């Protein structure tokens, strides 16, 4: 990275000896840490629009979540490339890593668990029509998990870069599609109707895929199935925590982005990802 001088193990050892074990205190410009993390830019992004003290933690938590959405998108794309290369060991490790990312993402809701209706109302009006529903990165995350809907990319039509990325994601395989294609290449009887389906449509469960997962759980690919199940559970936890945060801070009031709020989230929770991974358990 520009501005950062790379060091070897020998460099670090020599520096520690020269400093007699103390940290380096003098630098020619900014610290390498600030250069790498971009702290000035990062902390400059917290621009509140009211004087309400509750707004800053709300904004910071939302921005942290956006960073995790981007991380998950990058990781799942990597997992797809690994699956496409039939490197299931690497893909499983990547998916397991994202389960840990999701745990941290879900923990972020705790930073808003104290928000009462009165506190939220102290800055909510100033947000106008701004809503988490409008997050392009979250929509991309949902598309990668198989929850697809052409209608939900329409809010981004005036943001060409985000819109084009979502159109591409809508028509590309989801992570689950990549998994099923891999299982088919590995000799499992994934039906052609599933492999050749319209990728822009939301995935629907198939009894033959359910039978494939029963078979998978009896063989060496079971760790992949469990990693995906852990991921699905974390995603369900995310949606539940989101629902409860809304319920706690605003009850059943209409959402800022034009939705019915609580009932919209309750309806969204019924859209399961990786559905056969759950129903197959009844047959094992």
Residues at the binding site for substrate are 124
111 vs 122: CA distance, rounded Å:
17
User: Looking up tokens 């088919």, which residue turns up?
Assistant: 184
Tokens of 222: 């079971």
In this structure, what token pair is assigned to residue 244? 């409860």
Query: Residue 162's closest CA among 82, 73, 259?
Result: 73
Q: Which amino acids are annotated as binding site, given as ranges?
A: 124, 242
DSSP assignment, residue 71? H
C-alpha span between 238 and 257 (Å, rounded): 20
Which residue has 């034009």 as its token pair? 258
Residues 40 and 58 sit within 8 Å (Cβ to Cβ) = no
As a whole number of angstroms, the longest Cα–Cα distance in the chain is 68
Binding residues for heme: 242
Count CA atoms closer than 13 A to 205's CA, side-chain side. 14
The secondary structure of residue 126, as a DSSP letter, is: G
Q: Which residues contact 86 (CB under 8 A, 6 or more apart)?
A: 182, 185, 186
d(CA 274, CA 93): 18
Tokens of 186: 């590995």
Q: Give the Cα separation of 185 and 179 in Å (integer).
A: 10
CA angle, 245 then 113 then 230, to 5°: 70
């Amino acid at each position: 990275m520009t501005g950062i001088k790379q060091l070897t193990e020998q460099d670090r050892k020599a520096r520690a000896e020269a400093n007699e074990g103390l940290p380096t205190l003098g630098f020619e410009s900014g610290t390498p840490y600030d250069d790498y993390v971009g702290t000035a830019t990062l902390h400059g992004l917290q621009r509140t629009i009211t004087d309400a003290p509750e707004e800053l933690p709300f904004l910071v938590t939302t921005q942290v979540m956006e960073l995790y959405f981007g991380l998950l998108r990058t990781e799942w794309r990597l997992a797809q490339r690994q699956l496409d290369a039939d490197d299931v060991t690497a893909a499983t490790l990547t998916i397991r890593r994202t389960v840990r990312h999701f745990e941290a993402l879900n923990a972020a809701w705790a930073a808003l668990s104290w928000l009462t209706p009165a506190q939220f109302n102290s800055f909510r009006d100033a947000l106008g029509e701004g809503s988490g529903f409008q997050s392009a990165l979250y929509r991309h995350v949902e598309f990668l998990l198989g929850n697809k809907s052409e209608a939900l990319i329409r809010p981004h039509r005036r943001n060409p870069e985000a819109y084009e990325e979502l159109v591409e994601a809508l028509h590309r395989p989801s992570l689950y599609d990549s998994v099923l294609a891999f299982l088919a290449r590995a000799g499992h009887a994934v039906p052609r109707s599933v492999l050749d389906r319209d990728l822009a449509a939301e995935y629907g469960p198939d009894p033959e895929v359910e039978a494939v997962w029963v078979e998978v759980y009896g063989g060496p690919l079971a760790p992949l199935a469990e990693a995906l199940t852990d991921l699905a559970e974390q995603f369900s936890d995310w949606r539940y925590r989101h629902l409860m945060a809304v319920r706690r801070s605003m009850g059943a009031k209409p959402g800022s982005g034009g939705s019915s709020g609580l009932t919209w989230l309750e309806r969204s929770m019924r859209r399961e990802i990786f559905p056969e991974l759950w129903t197959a358990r009844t047959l094992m």
